[in-house]
Amino acid sequence: MHVIGKDIVRFHVLYWPCFLKGINNESTTELIVHNHRIRNNMEMSKSIGNVIDPFQLLKKYNQNQIRLYFLTQGPQNKDVSFEEQKLEKCWNTYIDQFNNILFRLFRPKIISPNLLILQQHLLDDQLLYNKQTFLELYKNTKALLDKNLFIEGYLELQKIFVLINTLIDKN
């Protein structure tokens, strides 16, 4: 699989496979083309000197924070501006959602026995529907990630968070 920027598509789609074929080497058929990252309203460029130093970024943020940020910025067919404040906000939002689910799942809840019986009767029908919905969202997420549609896959994952929170609200 090749992951390349949009400005070098011609070389990697036309010329590179020919070079590899000339030396009896199979070229990859999978190609992910991304657009440019922009900083200070300019395309990031080593010659301009406005690129992000990944090692400096890793000193300040962990790998998962950086991965999540770039995963959620998109779509891939559009130039995207890099801003550290957005990186921090993205991570904090994700952690807040996750912590909210954990808190809501494990908080103590007092329910009367009569209400519990009524809830169980109502839940039987809802449980099947919610299980099917969850499985469908899971399959959609996996299919999108398998196709390297990372942003769309992340958005499906967000729907799983919403479903879990909705189930907690109802129960």
Give tens-digit pLDDT for 9-20. 888 888 888 888
Q: What is the pLDDT of residues 41-98, one digit of tens each?
A: 788 888 888 888 889 999 999 888 888 888 787 666 677 788 888 889 988 888 887 7
Q: Considering only CA atoms, which of 7, 4, 76, 72 is closest in space to residue 43?
A: 7
Token pair belonging to 157: 């994952």
Q: Note the pTM of the prediction, 2 decimals.
A: 0.55
Q: How far is 54 from 35, CA to CA, in rounded Å? A: 18
Pairing, β 2-5 against β 31-34 = parallel
Name the band, by pLDDT with cuts 50, 70 and 90, for residue 124: low
Strand ranges (DSSP E) for 22-148? 31-34, 37-39, 42-43, 80-81
